[in-house]
Every structure is written in C-alpha cells, then in structure tokens.
Amino acid sequence: MFFPLLRHLILTGILLVVGSGWSQNSVQSAIDVFANDPVFANASVGFLAIDVATGDVIASKNPATCLSPASTVKLFSTATAFQVLGSDYAPKTRIYIDGTIDSKGTVNGNLWIRGGGDVTIGSRYYNAEGIEDTLLRVWADTLLKMGIKQINGAIIADASEFGYQGVPDGWSWSDMGNYYGAGPSGLPIYDNMLRYVFRTGVTGSKTTLKETIPVIPGFSFHNYISSGGSGDNSYIYGGPYSLDRFGTGTLEAKTNRIVVKGSLPDPEWQFAQEFSRILKGRGIAVRDSINTARQMTWVSPAVRYGSMKMLIEHKGKTVGSVAWWTNMKSVNLFAEELLCWVGYSAYGTGSTDNGVTKLENYWTGKIPVSGMFIKDGSGLSRGNAISPQHFCDLLKFMATSKNFDVFYGTLPVAGISGTLSSVCKNQAAEGKVHAKSGTMNRIKSYCGYVETKGGKRLAFAFIANNYNCTSSAVVDRMEKVFNAMALY
C-alpha cells in the first residue's frame, strides 16, 4: 500500500512542477515559435508582456527595439488626451458677426465661424446618412429666431487657431487623397471626407463620375479608374487645399452606383460653403461670396474677435466620446484632432506639432521616453517609432490612472468588438484581450491588456514589420500568442 501511494504522490508532484513550468514559459515559448517562423526571417519582431500589478516580465522578444507601430500610436494620443484634458473636455465652435443688426434683421457685416476643432460636426459616427448637416440647420434656425433675414457681407470660416499644415509630417502621397488620409482642421466637417459616386460599365471600360458629396465648386477630377474586378480597388491621389484629384485602379463592373471615399481638400472652405448653402435655403440672403481665414491676413484671435458679437456657441462631443470611436474603430481623423486639442489647450494653437510637443513633455518623467519618436496622432506617419517597452510602460501607468476605466473601455475586445471582433473568435483569448490594433503595408501590431485565466492582468505590445506573408497570416500566428497569454 505504501509504495503505490508514494508513487502516486511523486507523479502528482512532477505533474504540478511541469504544469507550473509550462504556465510560466508558455507565453515565451509561443513568441519564440512566432519569431522563428520562416515568414519573419527578414522581419523585425518586438514583443513584451508584463504583469501590470508587479511589473514582472512574463515574456519578451526585442522589447527595446523601436518599430513602426501603425495605429497602435492611437493609445498614446487617447491616453494623453485623457490625462491632459480629462474625459469631459469638449471643443467649442462659435459664430460671430463683425457688424450690427438693424431693425429689418439685416446684418451689416460678415458672419464668422470660429473653429475649435470639433471633429464630430457632420460626422457619420454621430449623424445618420443623408442628414449630416443637421447641426448647421439648427444654427440657421437659431439665427432666424434672432430675427436675422439678410447678411450684407460674407460667410467667413476661420480654422486658423489649428494651423494650416494640412496633414502631419511623414504621411504618404498614396494615403492623403483617400478617406483615411484626411488631415485635421480647426473646422472639420463630414469627417473631412469627400464621397465620389461612380457608375461602371463592362470590364475594361472607363468609369463615370456621377457626382461628389458634398459638391465642391471648381473641383477637378482626373479619372483613370476602370471597370473590372470585384469591389473597390481604386485609389485617390491629391494633397491638402488642392482642388485637383486623380483616381486610379478598378471598381466592380456593371454597377449603377458605387461610392468611393476620399479626403476633403479644404474643410475650412467647405464649412463656409455648406453653411452659406443652408442659410440661403432657410431664406437668409447672403450678399457676398464665402471666404476663409487662410486666404486673409492673419490676426490674433484676441484682436479679431475682441470687438465682435458672438451669436452662437456650440459645445461638441467630449474626449471620452471621441476617444471611444478613435480606438474602437481606429478613426484616424479623430486621433489627429484629439492630439490637436491637446496642443490647443497647452499652447493656444492646435497644430499637430504642438500636440506632439505636449505629449512628449507630459510623459517625460512619468515613463521612459528615450528613443521614442511620435510624428502624428493616428499612426499613419512612417516617421513613428515606438518600442514594446514604451507601450507597456504607458499601459502600466494608465492602469493606475483615475482615467483608467474610461481608457480601458475604449479598447476593442478580442472576438467581440471593434477592430478585434474577428480576432481569436471561439478561442481561449476571446473576451480576454482588450487591445488596439495597427495595420499598414507590411506592419501589424496589437497593444493592450490581457485578463488571464490565472487572475492576472497583463500589459502587452506586439509589433511585426516587413514580414513575408499576408496580414491575415500574421494575425493567425499572433493569435497563438494571445491564447497563451489568456491561459497564463
């Protein structure tokens, strides 16, 4: 009786030791297998997973190597906005007149729209399709209720307090004409997006541009898009403030209406155009043509608006609301505007450069930032370079912040929501990984938190650059690492 019992106890002990060792090394084994895959023979791979509570390293692979992170940069943008501005901060858009209103309801002067970077005006994330201009109509009705019937002047849009860089440094020519390459503005409208409506013919024939939404007077589109293939394989080229756009590629053949999304050339100008159109539609006459502050001599806001009369002040959506869309759906424009809000709050001008400067200054001393390079808010710039260690330091810091709950709530959940809804579906990591994804040409990344089977919360960063396979093949391999972390 003694020897069988002893044998049982010894075997049980061995299994417990082996099981414990497997648990401790399974994540490291998984990342080692990943990195040794032939498709990464010429690639750069970085990985780090830490215990948020203790800071202990669970597994790593080149954790200090700075890599191109793509959209996971949005973690820095949203975290900075939460920390610097607070989740309840909201930008303001104001309407002024620089003249008087007479007894007949005539404004003897210009009507100014002073932008504060409210990215939600006309946004498809906050407005139903077809009624994106609802807020502008509300403003027009407000002016009517004030008795205003005519404007003996111009509608002037002013986005000057956010600068006129157009797009951040490092953005590619192949990106900035497309909808995801729309740059930030002091007066964003309709997600700074231009919809091209095409009709296609038989395979090989030229497509026909039926209309653009919104309409842009003076707009010129050079159409080299042909009919053929399946779906939308077209690309739009064009820079900020240019009314020339070029289209290449293919669109599905024999389709009466197919919509391609591009970037709006000049949001400030378009804002004035749209509001002028709505005012006239509501019966308010506007004598002069529209204008923008970019086309006028610069004057400081304090001087420009000091003697004007403010008629309307609109408070936009909060940091918390915009950040949710930013991370959940990876909205580039929202990330850029959040960073600009940070710069505006800190320095009075909401440029990307000011936002980056405040971001760097805020995190210096809170986490190690040496060797980290951030050039924009969305991750579209190829000039971004961030290590897994930088990301994990940020995530560990945020885990103890008063803003953690709202920050954590913006992150997509594996197999359930946002850009991670199809990742680890029906696998061990489903519902356990809360992370931001990043995807660009030859770049795949995920950074966030894992709630493990053993009751721990891990912070992790996983970046792969220049791999020799498809993006979906990289995700398939990354899922094995996610599952190992979830089972830890």
- pLDDT tens, 337-366? 999 999 999 999 999 999 999 999 999 999
- Mean pLDDT of all residues in 148-163: 98
At residue 152 the predicted structure's pLDDT band, cuts being 50, 70 and 90, is very high
For 420-454, write each residue's pLDDT tens digit.
999 999 999 999 999 999 999 999 999 999 999 99
Six-digit token pair at 123? 């946004």
- d(Cα 86, Cα 88) in Å, to the nearest integer? 6
Residue 256 confidence (pLDDT) above 90: yes
Q: What is the pLDDT of residue 13?
A: 47
Residue 237 confidence (pLDDT) above 50: yes
Residue 14 confidence (pLDDT) above 80: no
- d(Cα 342, Cα 360) in Å, to the nearest integer? 11
Contact 224, 248 (CB under 8 A): yes
Least confident of 18-27, 155-164, 280-289: 18-27
| DSSP secondary structure code for residue 184 in this structure | P
Residue 4 confidence (pLDDT) above 50: no
Q: What is the pLDDT of residue 25?
A: 74
Structural domains for the chain:
27-87+320-486 (3.40.710.10), 92-315 (3.50.80.20)
Residue 141 confidence (pLDDT) above 80: yes
Contact 294, 161 (CB under 8 A): no
Q: What is the pLDDT of residue 162?
A: 98
For 372-388, write each residue's pLDDT tens digit.
999 999 999 999 999 99
Q: What is the pLDDT of residue 407?
A: 99
Residue 21 confidence (pLDDT) above 80: no
Residue 480 confidence (pLDDT) above 80: yes
Virtual torsion, Cα 251, 254, 259, 261, nearest 10 deg: 10
With pLDDT > 90 as the criterion, what percentage of the chain qualifies? Answer: 93
Six-digit token pair at 12? 């049980």
| DSSP secondary structure code for residue 253 in this structure | S
- Mean pLDDT of all residues in 246-250: 98
Q: What is the pLDDT of residue 298?
A: 87
37 φ, ψ (degrees, to nearest 5): -65, 135
* Residue ranges in 111-224 assigned as alpha helix (H): 134-145, 173-176
Residue 108 confidence (pLDDT) above 70: yes
The overall pTM is greater than 0.85: yes
Look at the block and give the residue holding tokens 């897994």: 388
Interacting residues of 194 by C-beta distance below 8 A, sequence separation 6+: 179, 212, 213, 214, 216, 261, 262, 263, 264, 265
Task: Share the mean pLDDT of the chain.
Answer: 95
- Mean pLDDT of all residues in 329-336: 99
Q: Which among 93, 150, 146, 134 has a CA at the least distance from the CA of 278?
A: 134
Instruction: Mark 222-231 as b/e (b = at least 16 C-beta within 10 Å).
Output: ebebbbbeee
Amino acid at residue number 55: G
CB atoms < 10 A from the CB of 102, how many?
A: 11
Residue 78 confidence (pLDDT) above 60: yes
- Mean pLDDT of all residues in 314-324: 99
At residue 143 the predicted structure's pLDDT band, cuts being 50, 70 and 90, is very high
Please report, for residues 114, 291, 301, 357, 417, the alpha-carbon distance to residue 159 in angstroms, rounded to integers and kept in the order given.
7, 12, 11, 21, 35
Q: What is the pLDDT of residue 3?
A: 44
Q: What is the pLDDT of residue 170?
A: 94
At residue 24 the predicted structure's pLDDT band, cuts being 50, 70 and 90, is low
